[in-house]
């Protein structure tokens, strides 16, 4: 799957965001976050727009007020944030959470994982702890739990025994079982691997349709994993709420983006991992940045410089297709969410989000739009009402 195209090196937008966010977090003692803290004179990104020289008052873990020259309550900790940027915690809209992934994520400002497949028993434990509080040293998690795939299909190769589905007549019972396990949305695999020069079974289109309808009957989002344009188009036509990758086989044209817009769907492009699948380790540039040297775990360095193994036969995956598709989606007004697919090759928890933001800007988003793709846009798409923006009443 060697990529023969050359991708221009994008201008880097993430280090100032990363560094200033960490400085503000480190400047505030843990005990102060439980009472009152005023951030003075910060540049505030509220999830949608940037406000210069603004104060933010946080009380008991919630944003109380935002505005210029706020009066500090008695006993409040006052943080001089002049010249620094305060923004919502980043949301990685596509992860697979294992090990210390949530702890690694928060080091780099990622405070929420939208997990697309892991052990549902682990998720239950993490969610119980999260809802009980006292988990400030790690990111929050929301999860699809067990993904939905065909016997022998993508997702069955990772050593975690999972149920599979073979026909549309069992779709409702299958979806109901995932919800009973704690799934907060339904993630469906509609992919036979041919875009990467490999082959594995996939559900058929009738089963795809039945699963989406079953999820909607239970008030759950149905998101679909694809890797080729035809499957992406079919998923949208069958009513998918979102695509959790874009495709790498061939360009589908601007009419694909218009279809996504007409269907009200969102897309999580996962550019970093798609670059890795195309032959160039997507996160390798992060390893060479001296500003990250003290933060990167040695294992993360190795993961960021990995690519997917090449596969004989078939056409190579094309990163340029994914990049062009993002530009077309933006032009059509389709919500674009930032997600990394960590911990796949070329990614690592937390830090890969900053590479994803960089690649989204390279694909045509403005820096502000890229930050929204990692904050307010995924919060709205996945109905996370408490962390959409920097606004009064929301989580700090």
Indicate the pLDDT class of residue 98, thresholds 50, 70 and 90. very high
First to last CA, the chain: 43
The count of other CB atoms within 10 Å of the CB of residue 61 is 13
* Poorest-pLDDT segment among 22-26, 197-201, 367-371: 22-26
Most confident of 50-64, 298-312, 348-362: 348-362
Residue 312 has what pLDDT? Answer: 59
Mean pLDDT across the chain: 89
Residue 314 has what pLDDT? Answer: 58
Indicate the pLDDT class of residue 29, thresholds 50, 70 and 90. very low
Number of H helices, E strands in the chain: 14, 12
Residue 387 has what pLDDT? Answer: 61
| Residue 15 reports pLDDT greater than 70 | no
Mean pLDDT score, 339-363:
98
| Residue 191 reports pLDDT greater than 60 | yes
| Residue 381 reports pLDDT greater than 60 | yes
Most confident of 43-47, 186-190, 391-395: 186-190
Q: How many CA atoms lie within 13 A of 200 on its CB side?
A: 15
CA 188 from chain centre, in angstroms, equals 16
Residue 125 has what pLDDT? Answer: 96
Higher per-residue pLDDT: 29 or 213: 213
Mean pLDDT score, 58-62:
85
Radius of gyration of the chain from its Cα atoms, rounded to whole angstroms: 21
* DSSP 3-state of 90: strand
What percent of the chain is predicted at pLDDT more than 90? Answer: 79
Residue 396 has what pLDDT? Answer: 53
Contact 79, 57 (CB under 8 A): no
Angle at 153 between CA 150 and CA 159, to 5 degrees: 115
Mean pLDDT score, 161-185:
98
Indicate the pLDDT class of residue 395, thresholds 50, 70 and 90. low
Q: What is the DSSP secondary structure assignment for residue 369, as one 8-state letter?
A: H
| Distance between CA atoms of residues 234 and 232, nearest Å | 5
| 113-131 per-position pLDDT tens digit | 999 999 999 999 999 999 9
| 242-288 per-position pLDDT tens digit | 999 999 999 999 999 999 999 999 999 999 999 999 999 999 999 99
Residue 367 has what pLDDT? Answer: 96
| 34-48 per-position pLDDT tens digit | 579 999 999 999 899
């Amino acid at each position: 799957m060697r990529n023969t195209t050359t991708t221009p090196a994008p201008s880097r937008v993430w280090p100032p965001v990363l560094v200033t966010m960490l400085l503000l977090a480190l400047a505030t003692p843990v005990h102060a976050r439980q009472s009152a803290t005023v951030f003075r004179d910060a540049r505030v990104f509220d999830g949608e727009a940037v406000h210069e020289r603004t104060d933010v008052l946080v009380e008991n873990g919630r944003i109380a007020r935002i505005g210029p020259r706020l009066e500090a309550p008695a006993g409040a900790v006052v943080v001089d944030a002049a010249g620094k940027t305060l923004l919502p915690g980043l949301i990685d809209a596509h992860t697979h959470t294992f090990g210390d992934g949530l702890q690694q994520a928060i080091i780099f400002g990622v405070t929420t994982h939208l997990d697309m497949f892991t052990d549902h028993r682990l998720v239950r434990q993490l969610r119980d702890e999260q809802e009980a509080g006292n988990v400030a040293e790690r990111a929050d998690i929301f999860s699809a739990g067990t993904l939905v795939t065909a016997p022998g299909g993508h997702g069955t190769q990772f050593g975690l025994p999972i149920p599979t589905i073979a026909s549309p007549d069992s779709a409702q019972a299958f979806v109901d079982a995932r919800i009973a396990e704690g799934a907060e949305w339904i993630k469906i695999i509609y992919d036979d691997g041919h875009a990467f020069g490999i082959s594995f079974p996939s559900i058929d289109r009738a089963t795809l349709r039945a699963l989406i309808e079953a999820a909607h009957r239970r008030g759950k989002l149905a998101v679909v994993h694809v890797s080729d344009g035809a499957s992406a188009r079919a998923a949208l036509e069958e009513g998918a709420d979102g695509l959790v990758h874009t495709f790498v086989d061939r360009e589908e044209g601007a009419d694909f983006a218009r279809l996504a817009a007409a269907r009200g769907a969102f897309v999580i492009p996962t550019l970093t991992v798609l670059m890795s699948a195309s032959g160039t380790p997507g996160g390798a540039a992060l390893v060479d940045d001296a500003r990250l040297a003290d933060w990167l775990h040695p294992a993360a360095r190795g993961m960021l410089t990995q690519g997917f193994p090449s596969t004989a036969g078939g056409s190579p995956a094309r990163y340029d297709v994914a990049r062009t598709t993002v530009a077309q989606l933006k032009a059509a007004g389709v919500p674009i969410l930032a997600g990394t697919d960590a911990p796949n090759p070329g990614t690592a928890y937390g830090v890969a989000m900053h590479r994803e933001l960089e690649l989204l800007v390279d694909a045509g988003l403005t820096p502000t739009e890229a930050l929204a793709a990692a904050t307010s846009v995924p919060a709205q798409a996945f109905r996370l009402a408490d962390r959409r923006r920097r606004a009064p009443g929301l989580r700090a």
